[in-house]
Structure 1
């Protein structure tokens, strides 16, 4: 990203009161150097006023570790042990494996997820929430290193840095989940609604694809549940998720409302490959293993531009995509 754009970011970030211009600037991608502070600001974790930022960080970090002292020893109690056991099962399955298999990272993720579950009894821990920690964790590690985090030994960081990364990841993940918590309450009604909305939207924007999947009895829930539950994190490389989240945090209701249009654009992006499949099994294998391994910022930018076009066309006119 050009030096001029980076200087614009620094200018906005030092302003006492952030304007809507920062969101507009962030929508098209945030430079790595300023992504940590920008994400904290866009998520609402850090106040816009520069004079209050340091005191807010200190207070929230202390509050998080107060929760650790208060609750974490209860993880093996009878009424919490199932939650803790499931968290421990899920973490090693996450991506990137080289990062998740580091003992220090595992410990941090276990604490973050357990404390969140204890403080949100309406949903508790649900598989899928675990993935939502990773982008925050990786971005906040960037504050302290220059190399790629996947190949970095996190335990080599100073303890103070590790504590800051852990607390900041917890609070920003919590902010994200506040906006989509009905995705994770009993029976996950938020996801059910979003998958249905995706089906209705695709039926209007590409009827051929929609009819093709109906013909071979592919239910949207069979592939799109994961897209909603994990916010496409299992479908995209981590670098693409981080770029996607730049826009999600800059976009109003990005993780809830705008994500629907991203999923629709993502599905239609594979139109040719979908129509080439002529049986249920072939379609399901394709939809659960879409070839995005080599995707980068360019592919994500095209996807976001199409999602924005769809939102502009359909968001304020829901009758356009209801039968």
Structure 2
């Protein structure tokens, strides 16, 4: 009964209370009930709507939802047309051809985009290989020939150039995964007449984002940020929302990246006032305040700097440290906290403190392995509870 009441409390807040004259959703209350125990897993619509509100995609006034959604979804359709369809086929002319050395030629831009596409293609094919969702097919939402434009370019190795895997110059951003050689994700065909894979949808979103943000472009690891968002929206229990999961994911991902883009920009750390380095420094400060002895043991005595483990934790919002269901619950708490990226650091600090006994008795090698491969046996409820304690102190 308590569980059903909790689900109803979400629906009352999000929908029924909007029938009042003011029609303004109490976002503070939404944050509170999400932060208390996360979103219910059994009702897949609640998390989908809650994230759209917490990531500032939906306005708090529900009377504005239809207009906002119509405009945003239509604009995304225009991005598909302008950035993929109309620019997908390069025509040759006497002045512009594949061997043209002009850096501003259409062909040069085409080749540069193919480098981005190649990296995106490699990354999205491997999203959460332990679940089948991203390798499942769905009906195409756009004209078949239009969808094939990106697929054809990604399959055209003649126009692809290898790119650097380590974008930050610090450490590998992804854990090594073992794949079934009999079902190679890398060899999976990218185009078919009977639909497209979920990972192809994610690739399309990331490519459009990169085109619209040339100063940042696509950075390896963004696929791990967008994956859980798309998963939640594409599994919405309400068809009318699920059908627009691609456009909604694009806008929520864009809003989220606007808040965390500095951690994907190594130049932001030149003055140590922003970016990933400053956040790792902040993590050390929090740990030192909570447990100075432990902080000195791993950071000073053993020399295990946060670059070796927390870089990935912070950059990918812990999306690679836990199974997807746990990641979704962690993001409920993180998104609902007004200082959510400070709360992320509290979660990271909690993870370290929970391992205190092993870290204090372990040597450099064992502690490095422990921190880089956080134990699966530790419940996230324990991690969140300790993080809330840290935040309250």
Q: TM-score range by the shorter chain?
A: 0.7 to 0.9
Could you list the per-position Cα deviations for residues 20-45 of structure 1 after superposition, in whole angstroms to 9, with x for gaps in the alignment? 21211111211242111121112111
Q: 1:99 maps to what in 2?
A: 133
Q: Which one has the bigger helix percentage?
A: 1
TM-score, scaled relative to structure 2: 0.70
- Deviation of 1:12 (Å): 0.7
RMSD between aligned residues = 2.2
User: Closer, same or farther in 2 for the Cα pair 1:21/1:47, shift >3 Å?
Assistant: same
Cα contact 2:207–2:218 (8 A) shared by 1: yes
Select the residue among 27, 31, 39 that pairs with 1:30: 39
User: 1:122·1:185 contact (CA, 8 Å) conserved in 2?
Assistant: no
Q: How does 1:44-59 map to 2 (within 5 A)?
A: 44-59=56-71
Matched with 1:261 is 346
CA contact (8 A) 2:202 2:230 kept: no
Q: Is 1:41 matched with 2:42?
A: no
In structure 2, the residue matched to 1:277 is 362
- CA shift for structure 1 position 18: 1.0
The offset of 1:131, in angstroms, is 0.5
1:17 corresponds to: 24
| Preserved CA contact (<8 Å) 2:347 2:387 | yes
Which one has a bigger Cα radius of gyration? 2
Matched, 1:233 2:234: no
Maintained 8 Å contact 2:48/2:232: yes
2:381 counterpart (271, 286, 301): 301
Question: What is the aligned partner in structure 2 of residue 183 from structure 1?
Answer: 263
How many residues are matched?
294
Distance 2:135 2:338 in 1: 35
| Runs of 5+ consecutive residues of structure 2 not aligned to the other structure | 89-108, 137-195, 270-274
Give 1:197's match in structure 2, choosing from 258, 282, 285: 282
Regions of 4+ moved over 6 Å:
none
Residue 114 of structure 1 pairs with residue 194 of structure 2: no
TM-score by length of 1: 0.84
Counterpart contact for 1:179–1:253, Cα < 8 Å: no
